[in-house]
């Protein structure tokens, strides 16, 4: 279900005040092999699970698109330029996490992911029991939901273990929102070191966290009230 991302969304202080979050069970970090992390756009993997990646120390990353559609009316950058910038930002972010990661760049069009093709591509990288971390199927953004569904199909086919991370749900959902599977929520509490590494990695995406230029079409995608939701000392994934 597509949910327009408008307004300021749910404030981080309202999430922090929701006591249920402290009760969610923590996820034991015992993957049998380096997990496969799947990002619809460069930065989703960092916002969602950078701390988890930093603590595990080894993952493989699938970059489904290059994120060229983040600023469709930009008068500063063409889509091709944005794609190149965002590819470089991902590489820098992974370095800031201390990871030497294999990045599979699939080059699907931003805004037009071919879900069936993607499911086949992911299945080729998964194995029984391997962890697969993908954006949540109900996240409200078409690309995030397509990636979640494709990952779910690939995990069902291969016997891999699926985890889904929300990104935009923190914006449109409310505490105790009935549209979110809170019962499947698992906490990943971050060490101070992992939290600092995540903050540094988020700082590797100036194309998203700062305006490209003064025009409305060049506004920041991730302004401070959005970034506040990803500065918590824990991450949340659904299993």
User: Which one among 40, 51, 140, 166 touches Zn ion, defined by CB under 5 A?
Assistant: 40
Q: Is residue 171 near Zn ion by the rule CB under 5 A? A: no
Give exposure, 204-225, as e/b (b: 16+ Cβ within 10 Å): bbebbbebbeeeeebebbbeee
DSSP 113: -
In the bound state with Zn ion, the residue whose beta carbon lies nearer, of 51 and 140, is: 140
User: Which one among 44, 45, 66, 235 touches Zn ion, defined by CB under 5 A?
Assistant: 44
In the bound state with Zn ion, the residue whose beta carbon lies nearer, of 131 and 168, is: 168
CB of 192 vs Zn ion, minimal distance in Å: 27
Scanning 11-19, 36-44, 146-154, 214-222 for contacts with Zn ion by CB under 5 A, the matching segment is: 36-44
Which residue has the CB atom at the shortest distance from Zn ion?
A: 41
**26 forms bridges with which residues in the sheet?**
187
User: Which one among 37, 41, 49, 221 touches Zn ion, defined by CB under 5 A?
Assistant: 41
DSSP3 helix / strand / coil % (the chain, rounded to 5): 40, 15, 45
Binding footprint of Zn ion, residue count (CB under 5 A): 3
CB of 221 vs Zn ion, minimal distance in Å: 9
DSSP 165: E
CB of 144 vs Zn ion, minimal distance in Å: 6
What is the dihedral sign for C-alpha 108, 41, 166, 95?
Answer: positive
| Cα–Cα distance measured from residue 199 to residue 217, given in angstroms and rounded to the nearest whole number | 26
Contact residues toward Zn ion (CB under 5 A) are: 40-41, 44
């Amino acid at each position: 279900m597509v949910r327009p991302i408008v307004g300021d969304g749910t404030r981080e202080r309202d999430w922090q005040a929701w006591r249920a979050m402290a009760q969610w069970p923590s996820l034991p970090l015992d993957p049998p092999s380096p997990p496969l992390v799947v990002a619809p756009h460069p930065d989703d993997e960092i916002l969602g699970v950078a701390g988890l990646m930093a603590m595990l120390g080894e993952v493989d990353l699938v970059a489904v698109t290059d994120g060229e559609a983040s600023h469709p009316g930009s008068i500063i950058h063409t889509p091709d330029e944005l794609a190149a910038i965002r590819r470089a930002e991902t590489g820098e972010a992974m370095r800031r996490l201390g990871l030497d990661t294999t990045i599979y760049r699939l080059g699907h069009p931003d805004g037009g992911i071919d879900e069936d093709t993607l499911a086949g591509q992911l299945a080729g990288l998964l194995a029984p029991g391997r962890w697969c971390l993908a954006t949540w199927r109900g996240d409200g953004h078409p690309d995030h939901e397509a990636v979640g569904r494709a990952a779910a199909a690939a995990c069902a086919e291969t016997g891999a273990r699926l985890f889904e991370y929300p990104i935009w749900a923190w914006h449109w959902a409310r505490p105790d929102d009935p549209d979110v599977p809170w019962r499947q929520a698992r906490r990943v509490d971050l060490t101070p070191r992992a939290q600092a590494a995540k903050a540094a990695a988020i700082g590797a995406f100036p194309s998203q966290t700062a305006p490209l230029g003064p025009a409305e079409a060049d506004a920041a995608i991730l302004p401070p009230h959005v970034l506040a939701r990803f500065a918590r000392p824990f991450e949340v994934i659904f299993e």
